[in-house]
Amino acid sequence: MSKAAEASSMRRLAGLFRKPSVSSTTKSTRSATPTSTKPSSGPNISTVVTSGKSTSKSTISSAVTSSEPPFKLEKRAGYLQRLVKRFKKNCESDEFRNNNKTYDYTVSRLKARGKFSLIDDILQHQKKYQEISQEHFVIRLIKLYGSAGMVRHARKLFDEMPELKCDRTVLSFNALLSAFTYSKEFGEVKKLFKELPGKLGIEPDLISYNIVIKAHCETKSFMSALSMVDTMQKKGVEPDIITFNMLLDGLFRNGRIADAEKIWGLMEEKNVVPDTWSYNSKIRGLVHEKRVSKAVELLKEMRSKGIEPDTNSYNVLISGYCINGDLKQVMKLYGELKKNGLSPDRVTYFRVIYFLCTKDELEMAAELCKELLDRWGKSNNDSRLLLNSVINELVNDSKIEEAKQLVELGKSKFHYKLELPKSE
């Protein structure tokens, strides 16, 4: 499909999901919003922050109410049915049926509205087209069911493949395993892996083994995961970096340091070069063991071997020093992260900001809040809660101007309705 055609089809579907603008919603709801009464004059400032507790110092209470508009258009009768009808009509085009992005987009939006029957409707509709006898097309549908959490439908479609004159190979088998993995039904993944290959004459490949090893690690069945490595090697399937990384992550994350070190040794024996994910798992294990200084040395080792740390590498180390209460090291690592051309993510900001609040470094916390909002912006409930906490701490410490700045910034980023009475 050409980029222009793909963009056109996406615009047609996206238009059906578009939110009403904040300004238009404000106009339509203004009459329903009670007019605020003018506060009494005096030095007290009232702000309101959603989910925040009121603060008493200087008799200032915090509260911000969100003016995020409800999806009014989607509540109109027949709205989503019209979407499905249009989608089905567009499916008559061969070009449209090859547009993975449009299928993904439509299913994700219907899932967000909880319209699983409509998801099933548009995916069942695909059976009328000739591609349904092609495995790659059915794999797409299985994955779409999986992304919607509709794993029973994915299994049903897999079982129907012979009726649809579509061969089942290890590719569709892996797609089915992936669908259950996405829905975190790891027990079912292990069951399918045990039962289906022999029944259907399918020989699992590296991807199959990696998926089931992940399932064992997620359920902390580490002996079974390690046993699976032996099994795959006996079958002539060699583990790759993904295999080792899943094992390392599961073992280090759960404090199985000795077992993880054995896997690290096996990886080196097989000339599989550790990557950033490998080192991050090891760093996490060392931090878990409260050996943060050793973890920092590992960061230096990465660089010496030409393996660049990422933001997650720093996040784990920052967490370790936060637990140790070491403000100097936390801020040093935060500065080093940025100096090395990496960008802090939400995890970085949340950990550092909360830590700064515990150390009464409120002005620094406020500055990082501004950075967070500027970088990560709108309509995230966790960000609102964090902002709320810092505002309350600032108010409790009589840092009123700093608190007001954050409220105004929150108002501009989140479209909160705020009332800030003028102080004398």
In terms of Cα–Cα distance, which of 315, 258, 261 is closest to 287?
315
Does any domain span residue 177? yes
**Position with higher pLDDT, 28 vs 246:** 246
CA dihedral of 284, 290, 295, 296, whole degrees rounded to 10:
130
Taking residues 326-352, report their average pLDDT: 94
Tens of pLDDT along 383-415? 777 888 888 888 888 888 888 888 887 777 665
Q: Show which of 171, 197, 223 is a domain's final residue.
A: 197
pTM for the predicted model, two decimal places = 0.75
Tens of pLDDT along 151-195? 999 999 999 999 999 999 999 999 999 999 999 999 999 999 999
Q: Report the alpha-carbon distance of residue 210 to residue 242 in Å, rounded.
A: 7
Name the residue with tokens 């400032």. 45
Does any domain span residue 315? no
Taking residues 90-116, report their average pLDDT: 91
**Position with higher pLDDT, 396 vs 128:** 128
Q: Show which of 197, 232, 258 is a domain's final residue.
A: 197
- H helical segments located in 254-291: 257-269, 276-288
Q: What is the pLDDT of residue 411?
A: 75
Q: Show which of 197, 216, 248 is a domain's final residue.
A: 197
Q: What is the pLDDT of residue 378?
A: 57
Domain holding 188, by residue range, is 80-197
Question: Total structural domains in the chain?
Answer: 2
> What's the residue count for the chain?
424
User: Lowest-pLDDT range, 15-19, 242-246, 388-392?
Assistant: 15-19
Does any domain span residue 186? yes
Does any domain span residue 293? no
Q: Judge whether residue 82 has pLDDT over 50.
A: yes
Does any domain span residue 419? yes
For residue 397, the 8-state DSSP code is T
Does any domain span residue 232? no
> Whole-number mean pLDDT of the chain?
81
